[in-house]
Structure 1
Amino acid sequence: MNIDVISISLVLLQQMCVYLVVAYLLSRTPLFIPLTHVTIRLPQKAACYVIFSLFCMMGTILGMPVIHAIANTPAIGAVLGGLLGGPAVGLAVGVTGGLHRYSLGGSFALAAALGIVAQGILGGLVHRHLIRRGKIKTLLDPVKAGLLTFIGVIIELIIDLLVAKPFWDTLHTVSLIAVPELIANSVGAAMFMVILLDRRELIERQSSVFSAKALKIAARADGVLRTGFNQENSMRVARIIYEETGVGAVAITDRERILAFIGIGDDHHVPGRPIISVQTKQAIANNQVLYADGNEEAYQCSIDPHCPLGSSLVIPLAGEDNSVIGAIKLYEPKTKLFSTINRALGEGIAKLLSSQILAGRYEQQKVLLAQSEIKLLHAQVNPHFLFNALNTISAVTCDDPEKARDLIGHLSTFFRKNLKRASEQASLADEIEHVSAYLQIELARFSDQLSVEIDIPDELRSVCLPAFSLQPVVENAIKHGTSQLLRPGLIRISARSDGHDLVLDVEDNAGLYERGPSGSGLGMNLVDRRIKNRYGNTYGVSVAHGRDVFTRVTIRVPLEVIPA
């Protein structure tokens, strides 16, 4: 009897090894990924059911006939299916495996089928118990899996004794297969779980490496291409990618030529040359990732037939409206294969660089727009203001030459301040000086029909705001306000702090403001939009008015001081 038990044990252990080899090979495929975590969602449960049902049936097929029974290992699939998938999956796997075993016939067919169903239910109940107690991590414990499968086999053997007939023959058969099945199934389940844990650790390790590389590249390359998608910046980015990924070579192109190349083959892959690679042209034209490994997809350097590079990955760089603006290319030499990490990383890098290029172009467009708006304000102010100023100076030249000289000085200051607006940022003191020069001309023009009050605390004079923000508002108050009055006009300009904000008020005593685009004036609209674009919608220009009494225009910006 001992010899028979040992023989059966050795056969089952051999079959278990075949079983585990198949499991190991499958674990290297995407099929096993859903099993590396406790399954919760329906697609994962479906994958769990299919895989463990197949292993359950395979355990029966690989079994060894013993008298009227089969010494086998389907308990591994049934128990683990329930343990990882839950009660529903465990029951489904058990029923599938049980029906398969029943179809093979024999006096143990029904008993064995019921035993497999019971094992699936056992795994599912333990799954539910551990989930409810918050011990989800212990579901992947190899020792727990082995112990649970040991119990599952005992349950199966008890069912054999209760169901299979005649009893004494059943007892004899069970005595032969009990120890081999207990050992093979328990060890097999534990080893199966070790394979799953190994696969999960490999995935997590690869993910960690991927994340670390991606973050490092993102940190080093941050902002480089924002200043322009050109040869100099592309070379800097290509070197960063080359150093961090360890690939054979890195190239960056626009749609027409090579902007950067670092690595093997840099003697003939020269920046500035036009693109002649078929793969690169196709990737740019069709906006698709192309991988030429030199085996399934032919790769040959289009410049030098003796080039040591043997494979390439071409990823398009996307611009506005998903249009292709260039490509990034990763190469490996003929002696090395592309790693999966670098292939996936390449696509992530392309998205990062595309975002940087788009952000850079957006910022450049914002700068150009702001400069255009300032020029528009200058164009709006200068012609008619210059005409009025010259007429005023001409009128006072004969009667008061000294005053005429002062007005020429103020006019010079006004236009000099206009010419110094390229930075888009000015201190409040600078803005007040600009406005004061403007107001001196207007005071001379309207003589005693206009007066001005300016109240600016000294501590607020260093606060910054978008350049050319105050003058258009003051001009609007005169042009559409006090200049229309028959009585003397008054302009008050004041500043105060409100929490973390600077608040500027420009008030006139005309009260002629009319709501709507035509009432607020082009200058005020541009000032409001520039402030909102820079600081957000909580800032900008607002207007309060009382008909024929006052109009108060309020400018609100963050309380930021210009660095010394």
Structure 2
Amino acid sequence: MMSLILLLTQQMCVYLVIVYLVSKTPFFKVLTEASPRLPHKVVIYIVFSGFGIMATYFGEQINDAIANTRVMGAIMGGLLGGPVTGFLVGLTAGIHRYSFGGFTDLACAISTTMEGLSAGLIAYYFRSIGLNALRFKPLFVFWFTVFMEMMQMAIILLVARPFDQALDLVLQIAPSMLIVNSIGTALFMSMVRDQKAMYDKLSSSFTNQAMRIAERCVGVLAKGFDEKSSAKVAQIIIEETKVGAVAITDRKKLLAFIGIGDDHHIPGRPISSQLTIDCMKYNRVMFADGVDFPYSCSLSWNCRLGSCLVIPLTSDSEVIGTIKLYEARNKMFLNINRTLGEGIAKLLSNQILYGQLEEKQHLLTQSELKLLQAQVNPHFLFNALNTIAIITRRDPENARKLLLQLSKYLRINLKRTTGLVSLCDELDHIDSYLNVEKARFSDRLEINFDIPNELHLVKLPAFTLQPIIENAVKHGISQMMGPGTVTVTGAQHDDVLELCVEDNAGLFQHKPQSEGLGLNLVDKRLKNQYGPEYGLEIECEPDVSTKVHIRLPMTVPEMA
């Protein structure tokens, strides 16, 4: 028995040496996947079917049978690949064993197939109940292999004939195969587990590092891609990655440089590095490791930097600059830093793109607001001047007051800020407008305000309420034959300010995307500034009333 144990141990050691060597290659990572995909399962099938076939070739002939380590391949294939993969691995290795003949050929083919399928079913069960990590535990694999080997011996006794010869064979090989195969499979899984733990640790470290950089860089480049923001980002990156130096450029000059060599890499200088020029020209990562690809500083012959990674920064597929990571001559450039650098470049590119989009959105909103400010209805101005001209003849003093109100309205309309104003200021602007309109409509226009005084200090975007009241007068009251009423109410509901402008004309007609320039801009501005749950909601009862509800968050200035 000892000689058989030694022979099987030698065979097992050969496999483990092969596994150890393969574990040092990226290929081995496929075996550590917790939930392998189809391409990974194909690789697992090929690898462990190969192990099963090799085990049969190198097995020891005993009484017209073969003592071997084939079970290792079948069980590992099932545990790592799942039921289908395990079944196919066991079937392939079993058919190969069957082709060798002998009185145990059928029994061995059946048992090997059953071992692969059983291991796969166990793996599937562990995944389904949330105990996926258990299949990577060497102690579990050891006892599971013991059980599978006992099942194989039972199948040999049930299937192989003559029974006496089968019993004699089991008594000879069972102890050796139980011990060696169980230990070998457990050691095999131990290697897989250790590599998996290493990959998980590196992945976790990389992810945490990237998340820290992302968290610290949020909003920095959104304010602009310039020397000030680039210097902040470069400082964050060098603190998190611990590389020798970090540089950021646009297409023409160095925007920021922090680390080794900052005495001669001065922000503002034109780009002189051929690596950087090629990186932007071809839009690809350039790497000079200082060994296979020599690196030399283009600014100083005695620069202490010895390797450089240059990654393009892009916006809408256009290269707008680069980020560069350096290491000193006496330090190797780690692959994890290379991968992290590429991830950082994508992160910064997205932030720059977001900043550009936000700036464009801001400019668009500002342009639309300026358009709204300049949207003094020619008919309103014409009607106001005509009204004042008529009143001048019979009541010069009143006409003078109306001219002052019109002047005040126009002055506020043109000079008003585009930021937040108090509700009180907004009502003052509206009052100037309504004083002119009341003179034109005489007794046909009535305005009612029901807004508690405590809400007058609430901040809201300029030109939120005024365009809606103007819309109610222009498209509602002015079209009526009888008297018209506009009612403006305000109330606070939790942290939400709700304003409502209601007229008694009921002439609003809903036309998608064309509710009027004023209404559209107010709704769009509120949603852009505060979120989709805020903005305007319009309800109309034809010939009875039109209500425009305005929702925005309560914003009250802090008391000094």
TM-score, normalized by length of structure 1? 0.84
Distance in 2 (alpha carbons) for counterparts of 1:520 and 1:297: 64
Residue 435 (1) aligns with residue 430 (2): yes
CA distance in 2, matches of 1:113, 1:438: 99
The corresponding residue for 2:262 is: 266
- The residue that corresponds to 2:86 in the other structure is 90
1:329-478 correspondence to structure 2 within 5 Å: 329-381=324-376, 400=395, 402-404=397-399, 406-418=401-413, 421-448=416-443, 450-478=445-473
Change (3 A) 1:129 1:522: closer
1:206 is aligned to 2:199: no
Does the Cα contact within 8 Å between 2:467 and 2:519 map onto a contact in 1? yes
Which residue in the other structure is 2:118 paired with?
125
Equivalent residue number for residue 218 of structure 2: 222
1:255 corresponds, among 233, 243, 251, to 251
Q: Residue in 2 aligned with 1:239?
A: 235
C-alpha deviation, 1:18, in angstroms: 2.8
Q: 1:300 to 1:121 in 2, by over 3 A?
A: farther
| Pairing 1:138–2:156 present | no
Please list every run of 5 or more consecutive structure 1 residues that lacks an aligned counterpart in the other structure. Answer: none
Query: Residue 227 of structure 2 aligns to which amino acid in structure 1?
Result: Q
C-alpha distance 287-394 of structure 1, shift in aligned 2 (>3 A): same
C-alpha RMSD of matched pairs (Å)? 3.7
Size of the aligned set, in residue pairs, is 553
In 1: Cα distance, 2:9 partner to 2:300 partner: 57
- Mark the CA change 1:499 to 1:241 in structure 2 (over 3 Å): closer, same or farther: closer
By how many angstroms is 1:202 displaced? 0.7
Of 303-312 and 225-234, the range deviating more from structure 2:
303-312
Aligned to 1:111: 104
- 1:268: how far off? 3.1
**Match of 1:563?**
557
After superposition, residues 280-319 of structure 1 pair within 5 angstroms as: 280-319=276-315
Supply the AA of the counterpart residue of 2:284.
Q
Instruction: In structure 2, give the amino acid aligned to 1:128.
Output: L
Residue aligned with 1:271, SS? coil
* Paired residues of 1:115 and 1:155 also in contact (CA < 8 A): no
What amino acid is the match of 2:72? I
Q: Residue type matched to 2:19 in 1? A: A
**What is the distance in 2 between the residues matched to 1:381 and 1:479?**
12
Q: Distance in 1 between matches of 2:440 and 2:376?
A: 16
Contact 1:83 1:124 in 2 (8 A): no
- Residues 309 and 324 of structure 2 are in contact (CA less than 8 Å); yes or no, is this contact kept in structure 1? yes
- The letter for the 1-side match of 2:427 is I
Please show how residues 37-52 of structure 1 align to structure 2 within 5 Å. Answer: 37=33, 41-52=37-48
How many Å separate the matches in 1 of 2:250 and 2:238?
A: 18
Q: Which moved more, 1:210-219 or 1:532-541?
A: 532-541
- Note if contact 1:481-1:508 (Cα within 8 Å) is conserved in structure 2: yes
Task: Give the deviation of 1:22 after TM superposition.
Answer: 1.2
For residues 259-306 of structure 1, the C-alpha deviation after alignment (integer angstroms, 9 at most, x for no partner) is 222222323333223334343333333433344434455544444454
Offset at residue 54 of structure 1 (A) = 1.8
Contact 1:224-1:237 at 8 Å conserved across structures: yes
Cα deviation, 1:461-491, whole Å, max 9, x if unaligned, reads 3344331122222223333444455655544
Secondary structure of the residue aligned to 1:252 is strand
* Alpha-carbon separation, structure 2, partners of 1:242 and 1:556: 48
Asked if structure 1 preserves the Cα contact closer than 8 Å seen for 2:83 and 2:124, the reply is no
Q: SS where residue 375 of structure 2 aligns?
A: helix
Q: Check the 8 A contact 2:534/2:552 in 1, yes or no.
A: no
Given that 1:250 and 1:330 are in contact with CA atoms closer than 8 Å, whether structure 2 keeps it comes out as yes
Aligned mate of 2:73, from 74, 77, 87: 77
Q: Distance in 1 between matches of 2:178 and 2:147?
A: 9
Q: Structure 1: how far apart are the matches of 2:375 and 2:84?
A: 76
Unaligned runs of 5+ residues in structure 2 are none
Query: TM-score with structure 2 length normalisation?
Result: 0.84
- Offset at residue 167 of structure 1 (A): 6.9
Q: Write the letter of the residue equivalent to 2:522.
A: V
Matched, 1:542 2:535: no
User: C-alpha distance in 2, partners of 1:15/1:302?
Assistant: 57
Q: Which amino acid aligns with 1:115?
A: C
CA contact (8 A) 2:23 2:195 kept: yes
Inter-partner Cα distance in structure 1 for 2:166 and 2:377: 113
Q: Which moved more, 1:414-423 or 1:427-436?
A: 414-423
Change over 3 Å in CA distance of 1:174–1:537 after alignment to 2 = closer
Give the counterpart letter for 2:319 in structure 1.
V
Return the alpha-carbon distance in structure 1 between the equivalents of residues 514 and 196 of structure 2.
67
| CA displacement, residues 77-108 of structure 1 (integer Å, 9 cap, x when unaligned) | 123223443454334323433454566x5xx7
Distance (whole Å) between structure 1 residues aligned to residue 246 and residue 210 of structure 2: 16
Tell me the CA shift for residue 436 of structure 1.
0.3
Report the AA paired with residue 358 of structure 1. Answer: L
